Structures are given as structure tokens and as C-alpha cells.
Amino acid sequence: MALHHRALLFLWAISCLLAYVASQPQSSITSFENLPARLFFFDDATTAVYHDVVKGDVWVSQDEGKSWERAAGVPEGKASMVIEHPFDNRVAFILSRSTTHYRTIDRGKTWQSFDMPVAPAMVGRPLSFHSDSEKWGYILYQGTVCKGSGWSSVCYDETYYTKEAFGDESRLLMADTSRCQFAHSSKDFKHEAHPNLVYCVAFETSGSSSQHTLTSSRLYSSTDFFETEKKIEDLGIGKNARGVVAFAIVSKFAVVAMKDLSEGSNGDMLLYVSVDTKDWAKARFPHSSSARLRENAYTIVESTTHSLAVDVLSHDQSAIGTLFVSNSNGTFFVESLQDTNRNEMGYVDYETIYGVEGVGLANIVANARDVEGRRARKQLQTRITFDDGRTWSRLKPPAMDNEGHRISCNPDDVNCSLHLHSVTLPHNFGRVFSSPAPGLVMGVGSIGDHLQPYEECDTFLSIDGGINWQMVRSDAHKYEFGDQGSILVLVNDEEGVDSISYSTDFGKTWKTHNYGIRMRARILTTVGDSTSQKFLLVGQVAKRDQKNNGRFAAVFLDFATLDRRKCGDGDFEHWNARSSTHECLMGHKQSYKRRRPDANCFVGEKFRDPVPEEESCPCTEEDYECDYNFVRDGEKCVPAGPEPIPADVCVDPTGTYLGSSGYRRIPGNTCDRDRGIKKDDRVEKPCSNAEPAEGQIIHQTFEFPSPIVQFAYFKGSAVILVRLNDHSIWQSPNEGYTWNRLYPDETFVSFYHHTFSNDRAYLITNTRKFYYTTDTGKTWYALDGPTEPNTFGLSVLHFHPMVSDYLIWTGDEGCGGFHENCHVESYYSLKNGRDWTLIDKYVRNCAWARDSELLLDPNQILCESFQNKEGNQRGFGLENPLQLIAGTDFWGRQRKLFDHVVGFAKFSEFLIVAEYQASRQALDIQVSLDGRNFAPGEFPPSMRPDQHAYTILESSTKSVFLHVTTSERPAPYWGNILKSNSNGTYFGLSIDNVNRNDFGYVDFEKMINLDGIALVNIVGNPREAPLTGRKLLQTRITHNDGGSWRPLPPPRVDSNGNKYECDTTKCALQIHGYTERYDVRATYSTPSVPGLLMAVGNVGEYLEAYDQSDTFLSRDAGFTWEEVHKDAHLWEFGDSGSILVMANDEGPTDHVMFSTDEGLSWREYKFTDEPMRVKAIVTVPSDTSRRFILMGYYPRAKNSAVAVHLDFSALTRRLCVLDPEKPNNDDFELWSPSEEREEQCLFGRQTLYHRRRRERNCVVGDQKKIQEKIVKTCHCTEADFECEFNYARDEDGKCVLLPGLSPRDPDPSTQCRSGDDDYWYELTAYRKIPISSCEGGKRLDRGPAHPCPGVRGHGAFFWLMMFCIPVMFAALAGYWYYRRNGYSRGAIRLPGGDNRLRYSSDSGVLETLASVPWFLLGIAGIAYEWVFEQVDHLVVQLRGRRGYRNLPVDEDAQILRFEDEE
């Protein structure tokens, strides 16, 4: 070949090689010694920051990571934290651990130092920024001040502010803060508040001592940086807005986390939400009691601008939750997804798809039952939503793998789905699944029934927003999107590699690029908006390849060198951002312009985010929500009450006005009203529907077609259900103002309210179908039970006190035809009835062992099960023993507790079993406190329930009350009430001859909210009654929990001022009791007013007939009484006693009587022209409303019913003022129960209660009540003791030994084990009432003292030293750490990092000593938290995702539910 030909060929080869190299990705490598704690790009800029927290250095790259330089002007080793300005992409800050810090205003090219008075607080984000670009220099700085040194040092936080980004002199904003934030700190949180409005969570007192209580933590606000204005935000609940733990702004919502310090609370967390900084509302969750979060942890996850998403821990033993989404103002939540996966840190597997409204991915725990019950390994499944969480579906897998082979299962099978790893197992920086690249979603996962471990997974891609998926690579890979999706980059995440894979056609084909060094990939990232063609890969280099250049390498990858042209208009397509079934969301469709998959070009629009195109949709039902003052009732929005109108409207009461239709467009919704429905048009209404003027009363009458047989309110709600005799169910969402019939085609046999979850109810039909609600009846859903409901008179449903979804169903099987095998079967469900598992057949009663105070195994089921399981169960008698079986692990492991029982019951902390002894044909009472160990109840020999019926009465004072029938047919029924000791084993006589009726119900009632006060009716003629068949009843009251009983003192005069005819010592007030009531819930007392009682009765020696009785009232817990009206009346308490309503109960009436001064004066209100027979007066169970329902019938139509809604809300609109700091200047009084003795003590303590003053005409409303206050502990008196076992009171009230019986064994060993001193005592005729806390004084229960043997023989000094030395060391260490760092266990965190609260415990010395072992663990926990904060600081970007909010578990919280059965 000629020489020049060879030269040309060589030049051609060289040029081809150069062209090939030029068309390949380019890469360069920079070595670092440590992984970055933070690695980020300035927004819309090529500048990257690499923070080596181990060495304390910051590196800056101005060319997207190709070259790096140490931050100029920042000394080596000083960088503790790097924070970029979220609203100005030129500004960032480097904080040191000292008081000198550094700022850049040119994206890291230069850095200037500035000094602060204090070092920064060790929280996630010690800086808070203003969102207004004109106020970019407005910054809040949180620092820590420490005073003293060593053991005596005290630390607390202070917040400073600057208006020129620390270019000016920073000034103190507030001391003792745990979090401060500008109200304008989010672009989405749009409101008209003052531009300088600042919120601070801080303490009321000075931090110099660091001794704080949680009650002093408040939310403060100011518009002048607290120079002259310091406002306490009351959150709409007044001075009860205490216990604020955290504050954050999430999307368009301001959220306050607060610990519930109200009376009866167990420290539950509350959320208060505002969308305008003016009005705050409590967030209400559907499956919590009284809108309280039963759960002890919740996480505010990534939320949209039109709803707040919160995941709530729903399983105590495992990290499994339930996802809720809110309405547009963030206050009312609905259940979105059950059994969501969480980790122990509170992070939730939930993420929305970037840029596509309404689409999100979540992981659920498919085997939640096994995880909770057996501690099984979680089996995760992935779900996707296209409608903002309303519905969820599985991910349909691809039919082929990445090599073209068919997958091992059928993609159409529900058990063959795609499952992806999510937030709880992060493997890269930034978002898990998506980026601003339109429609592109990637993930690492597996195909099958559930998700496999990460190392066994493959990499998948969707290019249509998650609808369809393809496997793009075997093995797990890190992935990143670039150039709006025109470049996809993958790197193996299971082993060390030296190359990456990339695709330029949306994953159809893949190429590789070798970057020249083998390493284990740790981070793959690019600019934040994924518009660049340059990437940064950080990995750990193998030791053999390190070459003294550092353990870690940052590989700069440049794909701009690929041989691709710039895209033109023909290279783009319009992509609809949502599936065809959910095109419209929030009133519009959404589409993007993106590059076609087969176009070989680059977009090249760097830092230009894809902009969605929105097309309005015609307005539909989904675009509207209920207007203010309206509530959801099924598919409709109905008035919550009369509609408020301006004062100049409806001057003529017979006229009309234009009012709300009940609907409004959801704020932010852009639907086209002209092309759709217009549900928010104003409608003309009669003025009678408007809110009345002040001082007026209104009513509404509704007639039902059949008599009422069942009715009940949802607790804590205005919604009431009514079941009629014709098997229909009606619902009113507004306390009887309007009614609608539920499912007219169904035949309902009963309904149940969930005992432990106030928002849930269940409607039972005569078939397998039942309906349930989780939002107080706003929506109902149909499901099938496992059988038809039972016809044996047994409860169909039993509920779990801890997990609302756990149900037990008791139904019939084989009861059709000739009934030869008719029997009862019980099933349980862990998913609120979605599926059922058989417990047992031929049972009578199956229930969860756990109760609100009976703290047994939460997964245990108790069943009364017949031994012989064949034949017709209706014919079973004593020949077929009824066994009591305990099944743990959801009936997985069974144990027989008793061979033959009559039944079991749970009362307070007691499990009580009636065991049948066939040999003696007698009953034994067995009592247990733990469900495993039972002790027989010991009775006085003459009162054993061998041949007698018995009734277990209410127990709430650490004792069991038992009524034993002693007079039976043919004589009238009555019996004796026995009371147990504190563990329910020894029973002694409390009072004899107590009345009962034929059904076993007893005239016994305890006073609500005042323990130990009870009323009974006794038979006053026990000798004559068996002969005459007529019982003469007398009333007795106890103020010491049954220790002694006395007659009710009669009033001095009647309601007309006249003296009573009966005025001898035998005369007393006698009242009608429990056994005579039409509605057994119409109690003497009310939970809302301590000490207030009403009753119907007479003054005389015996109780007269009901229609010869009058109505009486007591304001001091029954010590004194007054007659308030002649004749027998029904009564009801409203608005915490500020209004009392009565209706005549002796015949039809056309009016009610009402009083606003607790019976001093009464007024009439006529509600009908045709008198009706009132059978019940109903209001909300808490007695806090001014609205009532009269239920009854017209005498002309006894086969129908009438409900009259009475509204007294407008009588007065003045709210009662409660000021505990100035009790003499408010509308409330302090009251204490008194026995008219020198000390106003009850149960050994003087307790004061707040209640409205009788003469103050004002509205109490739903403002928080102040918890009762124990002023002092009293000396023991005779009233603090009751008769010991085998003793009873004689006519003089003294405890004497019953004839023929002997005293109980003093049992010295038990006394010495459980006693609080070194002696045991001989027993006397008395024992101390368990609930009494008296100290000193007369100890009637103690005879002569004897020293305890054994270890108790050691002197006090010996045991003091043995116990106190380790305690002192532990307490000293804990006290030092507490004083030094102010750490609080169980802190709840919202956005902005660690919100550390420093407060002292309110517990006394005994509680402190008792908790020493836990305290030692607490010290270890504190140390772990400190270490974790340091480690977490290194991986803050792995855990801290934008829009992701974490509220970890409050480990000190114990949630107990106290709730009476309806």
C-alpha cells in the first residue's frame, strides 16, 4: 500500500477513535477521606457542597462535582453543620460548635465569618428562614446557653434574630425556647398575617434553673420580635393550651403538637391545625376516643396543599400504623390505608410521586396479625393510589423480566404483584421513587406475594407514573434521573463495581460506562430538579485500590458529551399525568410536555422545571365539601343547627332569606362550575331555619312511623342513631334537628357503638350483611359477617380496648329447618370485619380478655364453650358442662381454665368467673387480676351464693360489689350487697335487704365522677313482705364506698315553701331507683357537674308510688336535698349544669320546664299544641350541650313515635369565664364533698372541684375543665373503715362478729410481704376502705403489733444504706445529665429538628424511688440518643426528606380507656 494511503488510513482510524471517545460519557475522580454528612446542590445552580463532618471541613464545587476546593475563608476542622437558605439560592451558612460561624452570599465562592452570643443548639435545623424574597436576611438562630460547670451546670436554649443575614448585630428574640419559626416560612402556607409574625414554643418561666414542668410550655407569637408584644396562642381552648411540645409548618398547614393535660387524660398527644394563623382547630381522627390519639406515636408524612397526611401507630407491639388524610383545612381525618409499614424511628413507607397530584406509593404489612401476635417477620406489600388516598390498588408486575423471560407467576393473579422498597430502608439521597422528570418512577423490589430482602431484589421502571412497570436490571441498583428523564443512570447496589449503566430511551436499551475505579456505591445524585446531564457518584473504594488518595471517591459523570442533538418541537409529546380512571383531581386534568422515548436528543433546558398544563374539568360531587355550620350525613350535607344570619336579615320572621346550600367548593379546587353541577349556589330558606335572636328557644318536631326501641349517641359527637320497632334505623347528625333513614331496604335487628372507639358503629341486619362507620356515621360501608347474627339473645359483637379493628362476632349456624344442629359460633377479625377466622363452635360468650383496666394479654380470647358439641344448643342444660377456655395468640394456643362455669365478667381490674360445683350443686366465685391466677371468693357462710342468684355491680373503687339474692320466688326478690377487699377475694356484708327486680337488676347506683358515693333502695319490711307480697322501700346513701349507709335527709320545706306532713325521726327522703327507669341511662348524676343529683321521690317513712312523687335536687353529693317541683318529672342536665330540663312524667304534656340556676327558678317552654307522652329526654352523653331531644308518642298514635328537638343555645351567648389564677373573679366556684364534719374530707383527702356558680347565667360550652385538686391528705376517721370479713354493723353502726363465725386469720407472712413497715398487726373488726388515702389518725383496722420475722428484722439503718447507696449513685448520674443537657424522654419532634423540652417530673418521692430500675434504663436511653444524634447527623439527608415529618413514640405514655357500657 502506498505510504500516503497508509497515512490517510491511520488518520481516519485516529479520527474515528476520537469521535467514539467524544461520544462517550466523560468522568473524573476526586478522593475524599470520609463520606459526606451532607451533599447538596444549590437550587438552580451548578454549585455543589460536600460536608465532611468527621474532619469538620466543607468542600465546594462550582462545576457540578468535577473539581473541588475547600471552602475559602473557613478554618479547617470548624464545620459542624451546613445549612443552605431555602428561599435564596445564593446563600448558605456553616455553623461551628463555637460562637463563630460563616456565611456565603455567592454560592460558596467566598465565605465571611460572623459571631453569635451563644453556640448553636444541637438540633436538626437551628436556623429558621423567612420565605419572602425581600426579607431573605430575616433569620432566627437557636443557640444553647450553659451556666455553671460539672455537676451543677444548667443548659437551656435561646433564640436570636437577624434582619440582614447576620450582617447586623443579632438580638435576643426569646429565652427558654425549644423552637421558633416565622409564620411566613413556607411558600405554600399563604395567609394574610403580619409579615414579621413569629411563633415560639417556649416556657413561661426563666431558664436559669432549667426546672420546668410541661404545663409551662406554651406557644407564643409576636409581630415585633417580642420587643413589646408577647401573645400566648390559646389555640381556641383558652388557658388550657399548655403542654405544647412542637410547632411546624407543613405545606399550607401550621401544626402544633400538644400533650393533653386535661382531666382524665393519660398524656395523649393532640394536634391543632391552622390554615390562616387566626383560627385553630383540633385534628380529629376517626378511630380514636373523643378525637384523642390513643396511639403513642404518629408521623406527619408528605402532604399536599389540599390535605394533611398523618400515619398513626396502631399496633403497640410492632411498628405498624394506619394512614389518615384530612379535609381541606386539616382538621377532620378519614382512614386511608391500614397496616402501613413503619420503622422504630417513626419513618413510614409512604411517598407521593413528584409533580403528579394524587399519586402515591405506600407499603403495608400483609401479615400484621402474625407480626403483632407471634413477632413474625414483616411481609410487605406495595400499594399505589391515583386519587389522593381515597382508594389503593396493587402494582401489576411486568409479564417479562429484563432478559425477555416470562416471570414465574401470573400478573393477573392478586398474589402476583410488584413490591418496592421504600422510605424505611433508604439507599440513596433525595426522593425514593421519583424526580421532576415527568412520569418516570423507579424502584428496587420483587415480584410475588410479598417484598423480598433488598439483596434479593431487582430494579424496575415505570414511564407512566406508576401504572405499568418493566424490569430494567437484575439485582438492586441505585438510580437517578437527568435532563428531564432523557438520561437514566444506574449503579449496582449489591457489590463493588467500576461501571455504571445508562439509558437515553426511557429504559428500552442500556449502555455501560467504565469510570476507572472499583468501589461500593453509596450516593448517586444530580442537581435537585433533574435537568442536568451531569451526575455525581460517591462510593467507598476497596483498600487495594485506594492508593493513599482517600477511602472514598466522588466520580463526576458528564453525559453532555454523548452524540445527541438538541430536541426540537417534534421530539416532544403530551403525557397525561394520571390514569384514565382518575383523570380529574381537584377540578382539573394534568399533563406534561416531555421528550418522546425514541427521540435521540437532549432536552438541554437546565434549571427549568417541567411545568404541568392544567385543564379544568366540569364540577362533580367530589369537588364539593360541606360548608361551615353543616355536617356530612351519608351523601348529604345537613345543617349542624340553625344557620347564623346577619342581624338585619329576617326582620320579618315569616319571610325568607338566601342561605347556604350546605356545600362549598373545596379550597384550591379549579373545576368549571359552568360546565358542571353548582352545588354551592345560594338557596332561599324560611326565616324559621335561621339562628334565633338571643333569649329565644326553638324546636323541631319529627314523627317516626313506629315506636322507638333503641337509641344512642356517638360519644363526643352530635350524631345519634335510633332503631324502630319496624326494624328501621334512623340517623341524625345534629342532635335531632334533622333525621334520615339508613338503607330503607334492610331489616335491622340491632346496632352497636364501639365500646372503645367513639367514632365507630355497626348496624346489624337479619342476614350476614352488616354496615359499619369509622367517622361517626358520615359514611357507612357494607361488609359480610361470617354467619347470621345469633338469635340466642347474646351480644353479636365484642370490641378490643386497644386495637379498634379487632372484632369478635357471635352468630347462628344450623338454625334453619328443624334446628337439629342449631348452635352458636364465634369468629374474630383483625381487619374490622374484612375477613373472619373461626374461634369455636357451640359457644355462649366469647370476648377479648383485655379490658380498659384489666391489663391482660391483648391477643387472648376467653370463651364459654360447651364440652359436648353436637345437637341443638337451645336444649343444653347442666348435663353439658360449659367450660371456660383461654386462647392466646388469637386462639392459637388454648388452655382450659375451668371445667364448668355459669359465666364470666370483666369489671374494672377484675376478671370474675362463676364456677359451678356439680358435686355440691353450688356456685363459687373465682377472681383474677391477671387472667391466669384465680382465687376463690370467700363469703360469710350464711351468704354464700350456693343456691342464690347474684349480680355483679359496678366496680370502680378497687373493690367488687356483689348483690346476692336472699329472697326469691314465691316471695318478692331482694338480697344483700357484699363488698370485697382490694383483690376481690374476701367478701363482707355492706348492706342487707337491697331491692332487685325479676330480671336481676338492682336498685344500686354509683355517683358519676365522685368515687365511693352510691344510693340503694332497701326493703324496709323484710319480715312482712314474704307474706303480703308487697315490698316497702327505703333509700340509703353511702359516702364511704359502702362502709356505712344512712337515710337521705329530707328537705326542710317543699317547693311551695310548706312543711312536710311527715316530720318525725322516721321520715326521710325516699327516691325511685334503677329498676323503675324506662331509660336506664337516665342517671341521678351527671359527669359534667360534680355533686349535682336529681331524683323523683317523696318525704316519708317509705317510698310512695311513682305518680305520687315529686322531683328533688342535691348540689352537694346527696348530703342535703331540696324539692324543685311538684309531681314526677323526667330530667336531663345540659351544658355542664348551666341548664336543667324537666318534662312531666305522669301523663301527656305540651311543655317542658327549664332552669338556668340549678333549680332555684323554673320557666316553661311550650313545644306543641297536641300534648305528647314524653318517655325520655336525651342529650349528648357528656351533658355538655344545650340541645335536647324529647322522645315519646302522641296518645292518639301509640304505634308511632315523636322526637322533638329543643335548642336552648340562644338563651344566652355569654361564655363562662374560668380563671384558676383569679378564682374570685370568674364564673366558677371551688366545691368539695363534705360530710358536715370539721374537715371536708372524703376517702382521706380533701378534693376541690371547679363547677359553674349557680347564679351565673352563662354558657360553659366545651372548654376544658380543670382537673380536681387534692388540697391535703386527711387523718383517718371512722368513715375511712368498713367491716372486716365475717363482721357486720349492728343497730348502733358498730362492726360486730356475726353469730357462729370466727375472725379471719391475720396471715402475718402476707402482711410482712406487702406491708410498708416492719410489723404485722392482729386483725380487728374493721378494715380500711381500699380507695381511702387517709394517713395517721385512728387506725381502727390495726390490733396489737408484732415484729416481722426474717429480713424484716433488720434495722431501718441497714436497709436504708443497702437501698440508698445504689439509688444515690444512679440519681446523681441522672441528675447531672438532666441538668447538663435538659433531655426529656419521649419528646415529640416536628419539622425543624430536635425539639427538646426540659421539664421536671411532677411525681413525688415514692414514685421516683419506685421507678429507679426504669430510670437506670432511661440513662442508657439518653446516652443512646446522644450517640444516635451524632450518627444521624452524618446521614441527615438519607433520613430527612423534604416534606417528611416525624413524631417519634412517646415511650412514657400509657393509654388506658375508661368508658362505661351503653
Is this prediction's pTM over 0.95? no
Pairwise pLDDT comparison (34 vs 149), residue with the higher score: 34
Pairwise pLDDT comparison (1238 vs 221), residue with the higher score: 221
β partners of residue 503: 488
CB atoms within 10 A of CB 266: 14
Strands (E), 1093-1180: 1093-1100, 1110-1114, 1122-1125, 1129-1134, 1139-1144, 1151-1155, 1163-1166, 1173-1178
Q: Is pLDDT above 80 for 452? A: yes
Q: What angle do CA 752, 756, 760 make, to 5 degrees?
A: 50
Q: How far apart are the first and last CA of the chain?
A: 107
In order, the DSSP letters of 423-434 are TTS--SSS-SSB
pLDDT average, residue stretch 1127-1154 = 92
Query: Edge to edge, what strands does the sheet with 552-558 contain?
Result: 26-32, 552-558, 534-541, 511-525, 497-503, 487-492, 477-482
pLDDT average, residue stretch 1307-1319 = 71
Return d(Cα 143, Cα 146) in angstroms, integer: 10
Q: Given this model, what pLDDT does residue 946 score?
A: 54
Question: What is the SS3 assignment for 1058?
Answer: coil
In 3-state terms, the chain is what percent helix, strand and coil (to 5)? 10, 40, 50
pLDDT average, residue stretch 1196-1210 = 92
| Mean pLDDT of the residues in the chain | 82
Cα 865–chain centre separation: 35
Q: Given this model, what pLDDT does residue 243 score?
A: 86
pLDDT in tens, 838-884: 999 999 999 998 887 777 888 999 999 999 999 999 988 888 999 99
Question: Pairing state of beta strands 127-129 and 253-259?
Answer: unpaired
Grade residue 944 by pLDDT with cuts at 50, 70 and 90. Answer: low
Contact 1126, 1143 (CB under 8 A): no
pLDDT average, residue stretch 1155-1184 = 90
Dihedral of alpha carbons 997, 1001, 1006, 1007, sign: negative
Pairwise pLDDT comparison (933 vs 1267), residue with the higher score: 933
Contact 1121, 1112 (CB under 8 A): yes
Q: Given this model, what pLDDT does residue 1126 score?
A: 92
β partners of residue 977: 963, 991
Strands (E), 725-814: 729-732, 740-742, 748-753, 761-765, 769-773, 781-784, 788-789, 797-799, 807-813
Q: Is residue 11 packed enough to be buried (19+ CB in 10 Å), middle (13-18) or exposed (0-12)?
A: exposed
Residue with grid cell 421502571, as numbered in its chain = 461
Closest by alpha carbon to 181, among 271, 117, 249, 250?
249
Q: Given this model, what pLDDT does residue 1314 score?
A: 62
Q: Is pLDDT above 70 for 352? A: yes
pLDDT in tens, 1364-1397: 544 444 444 444 333 433 333 222 333 333 333 3
Cα Rg of the chain, angstroms: 37
Contact 1104, 1146 (CB under 8 A): no
CB neighbours of 994 closer than 8 A, spacing ≥ 6? Answer: 963, 974, 975, 976, 977, 1002, 1003, 1004, 1016, 1017, 1018, 1019
Contact 1252, 1296 (CB under 8 A): no
Check residue 1002 and report its DSSP letter.
B
Highest-pLDDT range among 641-655, 729-743, 1085-1099, 1256-1270: 729-743
pLDDT average, residue stretch 532-540 = 94
Lowest-confidence region among 63-77, 109-123, 1241-1255:
1241-1255
Lowest-confidence region among 26-35, 332-341, 589-598, 1056-1065:
332-341
Q: Given this model, what pLDDT does residue 1137 score?
A: 86
- Phi/psi for 1392 (5° steps) reads 115, 5
pLDDT average, residue stretch 1265-1274 = 70
Return d(Cα 1419, Cα 1377) in angstroms, integer: 8
Return d(Cα 515, Cα 1355) in angstroms, integer: 79
Query: Edge to edge, what strands does the sheet with 177-182 contain?
Result: 177-182, 198-203, 217-222, 231-232
pLDDT in tens, 647-666: 667 777 778 888 889 888 88
Check residue 876 and report its DSSP letter.
-
pLDDT in tens, 981-991: 766 667 778 89
Q: Given this model, what pLDDT does residue 426 score?
A: 82
Question: Pairing state of beta strands 729-732 and 740-742?
Answer: antiparallel
Highest-pLDDT range among 149-153, 269-273, 401-405: 401-405
pLDDT average, residue stretch 103-123 = 94
pLDDT average, residue stretch 731-754 = 93
Grade residue 189 by pLDDT with cuts at 50, 70 and 90. Answer: confident
**How far is the CA of 560 from the CAs of 27, 63, 510, 535, in angstroms?**
11, 13, 17, 10
Contact 160, 141 (CB under 8 A): yes
Q: Is pLDDT above 80 for 632? A: no
Q: Given this model, what pLDDT does residue 446 score?
A: 95
Grade residue 1234 by pLDDT with cuts at 50, 70 and 90. Answer: low
pLDDT average, residue stretch 1001-1016 = 86
Closest by alpha carbon to 530, among 440, 428, 466?
440
Q: Given this model, what pLDDT does residue 1398 score?
A: 31
Contact 1050, 1035 (CB under 8 A): no
Q: Is pLDDT above 80 for 420? A: yes
Contact 212, 1397 (CB under 8 A): yes
User: Per this entry, what is the length of the chain?
Assistant: 1462
Check residue 909 and report its DSSP letter.
T
Q: Given this model, what pLDDT does residue 1397 score?
A: 33
Q: Is pLDDT above 50 for 464? A: yes
Q: Given this model, what pLDDT does residue 1394 score?
A: 38
Q: Is pLDDT above 70 for 313? A: yes
Return d(Cα 447, Cα 1187) in angstroms, integer: 57
Return d(Cα 804, Cα 10) in angstroms, integer: 80
Dihedral of alpha carbons 1166, 1170, 1174, 1177, sign: negative
Helix residue ranges, H only, 844-891: 888-891
Pairwise pLDDT comparison (1010 vs 1002), residue with the higher score: 1002
Q: Is pLDDT above 60 for 613? A: yes
Q: Given this model, what pLDDT does residue 1352 score?
A: 46
**How far is the CA of 1362 from the CAs of 1355, 1359, 1365, 1375, in angstroms?**
11, 5, 6, 21
Q: Is pLDDT above 60 for 686? A: yes
pLDDT average, residue stretch 191-213 = 78
**How far is the CA of 966 from the CAs of 285, 950, 1014, in angstroms?**
49, 9, 21
Q: Is pLDDT above 60 for 583? A: yes
Q: Is residue 999 packed enough to be buried (19+ CB in 10 Å), middle (13-18) or exposed (0-12)?
A: exposed
β partners of residue 101: 114
pLDDT average, residue stretch 288-314 = 67
Q: Given this model, what pLDDT does residue 643 score?
A: 78
Pairwise pLDDT comparison (1438 vs 706), residue with the higher score: 706
Closest by alpha carbon to 640, among 686, 689, 693?
689
β partners of residue 824: 812
Return d(Cα 1116, Cα 1039) in angstroms, integer: 11
CB neighbours of 16 closer than 8 A, spacing ≥ 6? Answer: none
Lowest-confidence region among 684-698, 770-784, 1409-1423:
1409-1423
Quick one: cell of 531?
435537568
**How far is the CA of 1197 from the CAs of 563, 934, 1177, 1193, in angstroms?**
91, 54, 20, 7
Q: Given this model, what pLDDT does residue 119 score?
A: 94
Closest by alpha carbon to 108, among 126, 87, 124, 94?
94
Counting residues of the chain whose pLDDT is more than 90, the rounded percentage is 40
CB neighbours of 419 closer than 8 A, spacing ≥ 6? Answer: 363, 380, 381, 382, 395, 445, 446, 447, 448, 450, 451, 452
Q: Given this model, what pLDDT does residue 266 score?
A: 64
Counting residues of the chain whose pLDDT is more than 70, the rounded percentage is 85
Q: Which residues of 609-636 are buried (b: 16+ CB within 10 A; e: fewer)?
A: ebebeeebbebeebbbbbbebbbbbbee
Q: Count of H helices and E strands in the chain?
A: 9, 101
Grade residue 12 by pLDDT with cuts at 50, 70 and 90. Answer: low
Lowest-confidence region among 393-397, 969-973, 1318-1322:
1318-1322
